[in-house]
């Protein structure tokens, strides 16, 4: 007498084969990459490539309902919207100052530590933010095109010259008030 193969055994084998096929399909999907035809940047998902392509087309499909500013990505609009609500949901645990964005809080936290990651290559001065470093680097530039007509001091920006000129105006006002009128 020949024994029939157990039906539960063949079902088990079929289930294992299906699971293996699904696993292989999953691995293939993970190995599939989607490359931008313009800049060659690679993405793991087609939807990420589609979103990225908007950077190249300049299309700004997302508009702020408050100020009408346009954005390429929906998440950029979401970040922008917080500016209108002024919802400062990120609080500094050290001093209590509140921030709209988490990255602003992260930058702020440097003032409570010795962390000054941005260094000037000319003089070694260290700064909390890259913006502070860039502003500082301008002090090393020899070209200071804005000259004070009163004392001939030179300045990097018109704003700095304007601020400086107020000193001379205060001096003039003081001199005017110091004059004694003799009759």
Better pLDDT: 44 or 174 = 44
> What tens digit of pLDDT does each residue of 67-126 get?
999 998 888 898 888 778 777 888 999 999 988 888 889 888 888 888 888 999 989 999
Which whole-number Å values give the CA distances from 125 to 56, 97, 144, 160, in the listed order?
38, 26, 21, 21
Q: Look at residue 28 in the predicted model and tell me its pLDDT.
A: 55
* Same-domain pairing of 75 and 111: no
Q: What is the mean pLDDT of residues 48-55?
A: 86
CATH number at residue 135: 3.30.160.60
60: containing domain:
30-85
Domain count of the chain? 3
Integer Cα distance of 25 and 31 in angstroms: 10
% of the chain at pLDDT higher than 70 = 83
Q: Look at residue 110 in the predicted model and tell me its pLDDT.
A: 84
* Same-domain pairing of 51 and 80: yes
Integer Cα distance of 49 and 19 in angstroms: 29
Q: Look at residue 114 in the predicted model and tell me its pLDDT.
A: 83
Please check whether residue 1 lies inside any domain of the structure.
Answer: no
Please check whether residue 12 lies inside any domain of the structure.
Answer: no
Cα 181 to chain centroid distance, Å, stands at 60
* Same-domain pairing of 57 and 37: yes
Please check whether residue 36 lies inside any domain of the structure.
Answer: yes
* Same-domain pairing of 45 and 78: yes
* Same-domain pairing of 127 and 163: no
Please check whether residue 182 lies inside any domain of the structure.
Answer: no
* Same-domain pairing of 133 and 169: no
> What tens digit of pLDDT does each residue of 133-183 get?
888 887 887 788 889 999 999 888 888 899 999 988 877 776 666 665 555
H helix or E strand, kind and range, residue 127: strand 126-127
Q: Look at residue 4 in the predicted model and tell me its pLDDT.
A: 52
Please check whether residue 2 lies inside any domain of the structure.
Answer: no
Please check whether residue 183 lies inside any domain of the structure.
Answer: no
Please check whether residue 65 lies inside any domain of the structure.
Answer: yes
* Same-domain pairing of 133 and 152: no
**Model pTM score:** 0.35
Please check whether residue 15 lies inside any domain of the structure.
Answer: no
Structural domain ending residue among the three candidates 85, 109, 130: 85
Cα 151 to chain centroid distance, Å, stands at 41
* Same-domain pairing of 100 and 119: yes
Structural domain ending residue among the three candidates 85, 108, 127: 85
Residue 116 exposed, middle or buried by CB count within 10 Å (0-12, 13-18, 19+):
middle
- Least Cα distance to 38 among 50, 27, 26, 30 occurs for 50
């Amino acid at each position: 007498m020949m024994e029939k193969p157990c039906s539960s055994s063949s079902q088990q084998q079929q289930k294992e084969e299906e699971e293996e096929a699904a696993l292989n399909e999953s691995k293939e999907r993970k190995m599939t990459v989607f490359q931008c035809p313009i800049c060659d940047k690679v993405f793991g998902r087609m939807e990420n490539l589609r979103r990225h392509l908007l950077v190249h087309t300049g299309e700004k499909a997302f508009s702020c309902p408050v100020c009408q500013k346009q954005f390429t990505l929906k998440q950029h609009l979401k970040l922008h919207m917080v500016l209108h609500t002024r919802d400062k949901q990120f609080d500094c645990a050290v001093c209590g100052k509140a921030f709209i964005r988490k990255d602003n809080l992260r930058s702020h936290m440097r003032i409570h530590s010795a962390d000054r990651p941005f260094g000037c290559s000319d003089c070694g001065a260290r700064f909390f933010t890259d913006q502070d470093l860039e502003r500082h680097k301008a002090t090393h530039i020899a070209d200071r095109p804005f000259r004070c007509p009163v004392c001939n001091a030179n300045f990097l920006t018109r704003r700095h010259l304007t601020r400086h000129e107020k000193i001379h105006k205060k001096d003039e006002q003081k001199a005017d008030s110091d004059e004694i009128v003799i009759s």
